[in-house]
């Protein structure tokens, strides 16, 4: 085979590769945004009333512990982003009364990096962490999903108690 035939053969081989389109492609894109959602289920106020003693010399009787409320949340964070926490505070603070709250471990239909519950905290006007370490996660929606809340009342300094019928708002905040 002379030089020209060899060049011809190589050119032909290359052109066969170039002009025979054997692959093609199509693209797609998915945008997953940062998500931060939280609510309390079920909605509505709860009523917790102290009752007067029926025997002289006895203390007032604290209301039954309330476990009807659940915290639901959905959290999507960027890779390497800070985890979220949920804090709680009350307004107003009732003198002589401790309002305590504790979130249970997450249960129900959720998934992902769910938060870790703190031990029981006595609520005041300053936000305190009740759940921390929330990553990309969802708890499931509604009661029996997420973190069950245990809310209890007790008298602290008896001398500070006075008769009142005060609505107290518990403020929950999800934040980084």
Q: What are phi and psi of 90, to 5 degrees?
A: -125, 155
146 scored as a contact of other proteins (CB under 8 A)? yes
Q: How far apart are the first and last CA of the chain?
A: 75
Q: Applying CB under 8 A, which of residues 3, 19, 167, 169 lies at the interface with other proteins?
A: 19
Among 78, 49, 79, 43, smallest CA distance to 61 is for 49
**Least Cβ distance, residue 37 to other proteins (angstroms):** 4
137 scored as a contact of other proteins (CB under 8 A)? yes
102 scored as a contact of other proteins (CB under 8 A)? no
Nearer to other proteins, 102 or 146 (CB): 146
173 scored as a contact of other proteins (CB under 8 A)? no
Stretch that binds other proteins, among 11-19, 42-50, 59-67, 86-94 (CB under 8 A): 11-19
Beta bridge partners of 36: 75
35 scored as a contact of other proteins (CB under 8 A)? yes
Cα 80 from Cα 167, distance rounded (Å): 41
Distance of CA 89 to the CA centre of its chain: 16
Beta bridge partners of 40: 71
Report the interface residues with other proteins, using CB under 8 A: 1, 5, 9, 12-13, 16-17, 19-35, 37-39, 41, 72-81, 110-113, 135-142, 145-146
């Amino acid at each position: 085979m002379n030089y020209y035939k060899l060049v011809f053969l190589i050119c032909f081989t290359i052109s066969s590769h170039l002009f025979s389109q054997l692959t093609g492609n199509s693209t797609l894109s998915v945008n997953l945004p940062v998500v931060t959602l939280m609510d309390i289920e079920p909605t509505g106020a709860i009523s917790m009333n102290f009752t007067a003693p029926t025997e002289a010399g006895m203390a007032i009787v604290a209301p039954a512990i309330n476990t009807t409320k659940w915290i639901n949340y959905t959290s999507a964070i960027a890779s390497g982003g800070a985890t979220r926490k949920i804090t709680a505070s009350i307004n107003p603070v009732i003198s002589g009364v401790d309002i305590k709250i504790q979130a249970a471990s997450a249960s129900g239909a959720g998934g992902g990096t769910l938060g870790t519950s703190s031990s029981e905290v006595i609520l005041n006007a300053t936000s305190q962490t009740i759940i921390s370490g929330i990553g990309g996660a969802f708890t499931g929606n509604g009661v029996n999903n997420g973190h069950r809340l245990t809310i209890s009342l007790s008298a602290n300094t008896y001398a500070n108690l006075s008769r009142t019928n005060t609505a107290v708002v518990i403020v929950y905040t999800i934040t980084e």
